[in-house]
Homo-oligomer: A and B are copies of this chain.
Amino acid sequence: MTASSHRAQPPVSAAVVCRRLESLAPLGPASLGLLLCLDDLQTHEAGCELVSERAPHFPSRFLISGWAARVRWLADGRRQILGFLLPGDGIGLCLRPHPLALATTVALTPLVTIDAEPVMRAVGGPAPPEDLAAAMQIASSMDEAALLNQVVRLGRQTAYERMCHLLLELYDRLSDVGLAEDQTFPMPLTQELVSDALGLSVVHVNRILQQLRREGLLDLRTGRASLLDIEQLRDIADYERPQPSRWRSFPGSQPMSEAPA
């Protein structure tokens, strides 16, 4: 992992991790304190491999800023992106002592990451803080849910539906950490990366994007995307926003529409 370790003036802080985990389960002051004490901020160049497939050792970190992807290659060079990692997400988190990486993780943009080891030790230790453990487990469930969505997209949706579905997922996930507003979000992916995520050719991705623009559903410029009719996009993609607040059984901080009668 080519990275420069420097503690001077962190570009941003672990606040985005707090924001992410709090959107999943309410955190007490002890857990928030633990998160805000995380250190060893690192920057990584675009293109660098954070985790290498089958590597016996790799770091547990949180992504603070920038985008990364989990990737697999076939022998002949075909590439499949398994999923995107966004700010607030974990990288290489695994409770098992010496896991083998199941996929390569690469930086798609310049990144800032922070050490997640203290969190993993707390959660895997003898007396794990209940709130933090709940948040981390829900985060892990959301990772699985994203993977299941990816399977459905690739297996049973048309190119047009896949594109809408992916855009909605990115929008919702970025919203969760406060990086999207007015249906607009940063979009650093090239069409080639999108094509490798959606199992399509670059040319076809380009045509689908043209179509969405013509239909007034999407405004996509360099580095920025706007979803112009989210309701229609949801219909097209058969997409539903995940509601992790409903994945907890105990009462949470966010009021729910269905209150007990």
Contacts and interface: CB of A to CB of B under 8 A. Distances in A.
B141 A80 contact: no
Given A56-B249, A98-B248, A247-B99, A148 B147 contact: yes
Given A100-B247, A141-B96, A141-B102, A80 B152 contact: yes
A94 to B, nearest CB: 8
A102 B78 CA distance: 29
Contacts of A238: 74-76
A184 interface: no
Interface residues on A, range: 35 or more
A72 B148 contact: yes
A29 interface: no
B97 A249 contact: yes
Q: How many copies does the complex hold?
A: 2
Interface string A61-90: 000000000001011101110100000000
A151 to B, nearest CB: 5
A170 to B, nearest CB: 17
Contact of A141 (B99, B148, B157, B196): B99
A73 to B, nearest CB: 9
Contact of A155 (B80, B100, B248): B80
Interface of A: 56, 72, 74-76, 78-80, 82, 94-100, 102-103, 126, 134, 137-138, 141, 144-145, 147-148, 150-152, 154-157, 196-199, 238, 246-249
6 contacts: A72-B151, A72-B152, A74-B238, A99-B247, A155-B196, A155-B198
